[in-house]
Amino acid sequence: MSVSRKERIAGTIMGSLIGDALGVGPHWYYDLDTLRQDYGDWIDGYTEPKQGRYHAGLKAGESSQTGQVTAMLLESVAEKGGYDEDDFTGRVDSLLETLDGTAKGGRYTDQAMREVWHARIKVNKPWRQSGSLASTAEAAIRVPVLAGRYAGDMGACYDAITANVILTHRAAETAGRSVAFGLLVHALVNGASMPNAKQHVMNGLRDAGKSLAMPVPAEAVEYGFIDDVLNVTWISECAKDPAIAIEPAWKAARLYGLACPLASLMPAAVYFAARFEGDFESAVLHAVNSGGNNMARAALTGAMSGALVGLGGIPERFIDGLHDSRQLLTLAEQVAEAAG
């Protein structure tokens, strides 16, 4: 059965938010024996963080701070009809003003947002100079909103994503890889397969007069992300190759690395989305059960898998269990409608 582009756009947005929330409880367990002791042999839904853990105090189905910021971008794009940087940054400024610059000043604040907080609140830098040098995935996690909104216009998609990523992540390699992820999602919401996404990205950028590079003005450099685009093809082909077996599949995360750099998270997420193509639940839950920074890995996986299966391919229980799901779903559908 064919999946419409609108269904894919809503699917990628909700998939990212669902993956994030599924990872909140069991986040950052590098000792997988302890993870299994705390949550059992297989996590199959939303869970609460244990006392003393990173997101303690949040309820099952609530979003992390990364999910909060993604929802802010979603609200902004839905209400404004497109990407409005001043509106989005104003919303994030309101969040930053409630924090104290420490990891536990609100919902757990990661390194990138702590550095953004310092630049904006303590130093009063302009937003375009406030990005962190962290190698993490927060920017990549939120850009599916923009990939969806500009699904019909590769040039506008590239412009919006590059502008948004640099606000929080200004290290050239991480920023470029985040843009590559957003363009991958753009390919998927337009119906490309994982192995063929590279052609959609390369041809689309060429036709739009854009390069396969992320300009980083503050650093006077740019990062060419063609390798990140090509990696999607290679990894997704390996995920389907019977001669390359990773069993159980969640151990793919150990192969690519359990920690926080996007360079480790994105390949594993691609593997899960490709290996369990057409099966959102299996893809995302393998990411959740893989340990380490499983929350970010699951959000990235959810964005890709949601784009592949569309909103109708996401189990209803994941939507029902997500905090504020009806509001988020309405906003996601508004963005999909605006994309045409």
Q: Which residues are annotated as a binding site?
A: 64
- Residue 99 near residue 120, CB atoms below 8 Å: no
- Which helix (H) or strand (E) covers residue 224, if one does? strand 221-224
- Residue 177 near residue 45, CB atoms below 8 Å: no
**Alpha-carbon distances, residue 18 vs 256, 297, 314 (angstroms):** 23, 12, 10
Q: Are strands 213-216 and 221-224 parallel, antiparallel or unpaired?
A: antiparallel
Distance CA 249, CA 263 (A): 19
Distance CA 335, CA 64 (A): 22
Binding residues for Mg(2+): 64
Task: Classify residue 2 as exposed, middle or buried by CB count within 10 Å of its CB (0-12, 13-18, 19+).
Answer: exposed
